[in-house]
Amino acid sequence: MAVLLWLLFLSAFHAVAVAQQRNFNITPGSSLTPNANSSWFSPSRRFAFGFYEQTNGYAVGISIIGMSKKTAVWTANRDSPAVPSSAVLLLTTDGRLIVQVGQEITVINPSQSIASASMLDTGNFVLYNSDHNIIWQSFDNPTNTILPGQHLSAGQELFSSASEEDDSFGIFRLKMQRDGYLVQYPVQTPDTAPYAYFEKHINGIGNNVTLNLGDDSYLYLNNSDGGLENLTKGGHPRERTIYLMKIDVDGILRVYSHSLSQQNSSAIWSSTYDRCDPKGLCGLNGYCINIDDQVNCSCLPGFDFVNPGNWTAGCERNFPAETCRLKEKTSKYYDMITVKNTRWEDISYATLVTTTKEDCVQACLQDCSCETALFKDTECRKQGLPLRYGRRDMTDSNLALVKVRINVFADEGLFNQIEETKGEKLRMDILIAGITWAAFAFLVLVL
């Protein structure tokens, strides 16, 4: 009797397992829409693949479920605009995963036709061929987040999001370099030390180093020789908690703890607690200031924010700079304003050894190409615009000298003079052209 009951139990267990596999196996013809049936869930319903809301529509990706709002951990097509509520996500009968929105947009493009897909409890979204072999998985293609059991391999990068409500590409990146160094840079910069603002590595040769996250929040580097470099200690509770590492919008790496029981999340580790460390946080011609653990951005004198709601858009001049077209010295129309204790990327086109700050000011005022100058320890470095990677540093005596318009520049008389200068040049060009054509005509007649 006991054997019979055991066999019945095994049969029932197998039936449930098969039913679950079927319930959570995504087959050709399956579809989703943003407003109804928006996700394919993992068996435990901890993760979902499908639509989630963005600022101007919807994105397709993987989210943690059971929180106050969906927390995305992977996003498809980050360089494409958000899609409208009329979009349809479809696994086609010919094995393609697409979004239909007036046109077809490929979501994932594996090397083989997709026979089925699964959203796993690990947070990994997997595509299979007809032989049930994995042909693509999200764990091999991270975007801005690493989950437990996932790793960032040599040569791979994570990119921050544009904002908290927009998961398109932001302005920071984390790269697991092939030399074994884990480094953070601004985007569109070479992988060289002057642009780095965070790095970790394993002592010795860094062959095949990977960045890994354990299910207890243990974040570490590991190489093929067994070398380790710990970034966090780990040891946090595993029960009903999901940990993830993310490169945030502000360019800082953080490990988060997501409690499914309490439906909240908190950062338990950061790569830095100096929020001005990420280079370029305040955009071009802006500089970062730490105030009581809060961060703020300011523009150079004579500049305003391009988009006051988005610091990373940087700053632009709030006056025209046309006096170089005049024959008079620009010092008649400009002054130099000092910004103390700031550091910038050095893109100087000329370096002068001067005795005083005033010498540096005059050298820049008399140079039409000089927009700013950096003065420190009798060295004057002339700069053009834009300035990048600015931040306040009270330990740095560097002075940024910024050329700005003085009041006389606003007088209409100056602008009339500029326009008269333009007009005179135009009349001279016409006169020269007329004389040239007359001479040419005379030569033709003589010949």
pLDDT recorded at residue 14: 39
Percent pLDDT > 90 in the chain is 70
User: Backbone phi, then psi, for 14, in 5-degree steps?
Assistant: -65, -40
Q: Please answer whether residues 313 and 374 qualify as being in contact, where contact means their C-beta atoms are separated by less than 8 angstroms.
A: no
| Residue 386: cis peptide before it, omega within 30 degrees of 0 | yes
Stretch among 34-38, 105-109, 250-254, 417-421 having the lowest mean pLDDT: 417-421
Instruction: Tell me how far apart the alpha carbons of residues 233 and 246 are, in angstroms, rounded to a whole number.
Output: 17
pLDDT number for residue 333: 83
DSSP 232: -
Q: Is there a contact between 159 and 78 (Cβ–Cβ < 8 Å)?
A: yes
Give the mean model confidence (pLDDT) for residues 123-141: 97
Q: Is 350 exposed, middle or buried (0-12, 13-18, 19+ CB in 10 A)?
A: middle
State whether residue 257 is helix, strand or coil.
strand
Phi and psi, residue 313, nearest 5°:
-70, -15
Q: Using 50, 70 and 90 to split pLDDT, how confident is the model at 202?
A: confident
* pLDDT reported for residue 432: 52
Q: Of the segments 52-56, 257-261, 335-339, 432-436, which one has the largest average pLDDT value?
A: 335-339
The pLDDT score that the predictor gives to residue 321 is 72
Average pLDDT, the chain: 86
- The contacts of residue 124 (CB under 8 Å, 6+ apart) are 137, 138, 139, 147, 149, 150
Confidence (pLDDT) at 145: 98
Cα(114)–Cα(343) distance, integer angstroms: 52
Residue 446 has pLDDT above 50, yes or no: no
Task: Please give the DSSP secondary-structure letter assigned to residue 95.
Answer: S
**CA–CA gap between residue 250 and residue 312 (Å, rounded):** 9
d(CA 309, CA 326): 37
Predicted pLDDT at 37: 87
> Across 45-163, where does the E strand assignment appear?
47-54, 57-64, 71-75, 88-91, 97-100, 104-108, 116-119, 125-128, 134-137, 145-146, 151-152, 157-163
Give the model's pLDDT for residue 407: 65
pLDDT band at 434 (very low <50, low <70, confident <90, very high): low
Across 379-396, average pLDDT? 96
pLDDT at position 97 over 60: yes
Across residues 125-140, what is the average pLDDT?
97
pLDDT mean over 118-144: 97
Three-state SS string over 318-381 comes to CCCCCHHHCCCCHHHCEEEEEEECEECCCCCCEEEECCCHHHHHHHHHCCCCCCEEEEECCEEE
pLDDT confidence of residue 443 = 47
pLDDT at 224: 79
The pLDDT score that the predictor gives to residue 354 is 81
% helix, strand, coil for the chain, step of 5: 20, 40, 45
The pLDDT of residue 329 is 62
Tell me, what's the pLDDT at 154?
Answer: 93
Residue 402: which pLDDT band, with cuts at 50, 70 and 90? very high
Q: List the single range of 20-34, 159-173, 332-346, 394-408 with lowest mean pLDDT.
A: 20-34
pLDDT of 20 over the 50 cut? no
Higher pLDDT, 193 or 326: 193
Domains of the chain are 30-140 (2.90.10), 145-270 (2.90.10.10), 286-405 (3.50.4.10)
Give the mean model confidence (pLDDT) for residues 309-329: 78
What tokens were used for 130?
């007809």
